[in-house]
Amino acid sequence: MAKSSNARMGTFAVFGVAVLVNLVLSIFLLDQVRRTRQEVSDLSRELASKQDVAMLRPLRVNEILERRCTRCHTDQRFAKLTGMGRPEILETIQRMREHPGSNIPSSEVREIQAALLVFRCIACHGEGVLSQIVLMPPEDRVRFLRDKVRMPDSGFRTDQVGELLRAFETLVDRPKN
């Protein structure tokens, strides 16, 4: 008698849970259908802009600095790096690496140096704008950077175009985490 009562309870419970789960899933699926219809009707004529394509491969300058530098230093400290060239920045990073607990692997030194150099550009242009450089052919990229470096208050010397170009290439080529 008790066994049949338990079996009945079990059957009711399984059936009840199945119905309830089905109800929740149905609500979610209906919502998905509604949202998809909404998104399709909201699609613009221009499916993707240059910026959208560029953002598929962002430079992630802020991410690199946030991961390795900003735990100890504020952004203002990076301002002191203005005027420094590649060798000075590399020397600074090597010095930081010697601090106990800094936890900077040697494999990341190049990209941190590149990020610190490009960080100066971010003062005026967003990371999204800079990512558009990825889309440029190499000769256009050189011309573009040369024009930008020549601008007053660019923060770079004219002989640093090569360094800047290499920094961009390092950031563009870095593997995705």
Residue (of 121, 104, 107) closest to 59 by Cα position: 121
Binding mask 44-83 for other proteins (x = CB under 8 A): ----------------------xx----------------
Which DSSP string corresponds to 5-64?
HHHHHHHHHHHHHHHHHHHHHHHHHHHHHHHHHHHHHT--SS---HHHHHTTS---HHHH
Complex with other proteins: residue 8 or 146, whichever CB lies closer: 8
Quickly tell me which residue has 């992630």 as its tokens: 60
Tokens, residue 146:
């040369």
Task: Output the smallest distance, CB 103 to other proteins, in A.
Answer: 11
Site for other proteins in 6-25 (CB under 8 A): 8-9, 12-13, 16-17, 20-21, 24
Complex with other proteins: residue 33 or 53, whichever CB lies closer: 33
Give the number of other Cβ atoms within 10 Å of residue 16's Cβ.
10
Task: Output the smallest distance, CB 115 to other proteins, in A.
Answer: 15
Complex with other proteins: residue 11 or 94, whichever CB lies closer: 11
Alpha-carbon distance 104 to 50, whole Å? 34
Site for other proteins in 98-157 (CB under 8 A): none
Using rule CB under 8 A, residue 94 touches other proteins: no
Distances (CA, A) of 107 to 104, 117, 174: 8, 17, 11
Complex with other proteins: residue 23 or 53, whichever CB lies closer: 23
Complex with other proteins: residue 4 or 158, whichever CB lies closer: 4
Residue (of 67, 77, 58) closest to 105 by Cα position: 67
Binding residues (CB under 8 A) for other proteins: these are: 5, 8-9, 12-13, 16-17, 20-21, 24, 27-28, 31-32, 35, 66-67, 177
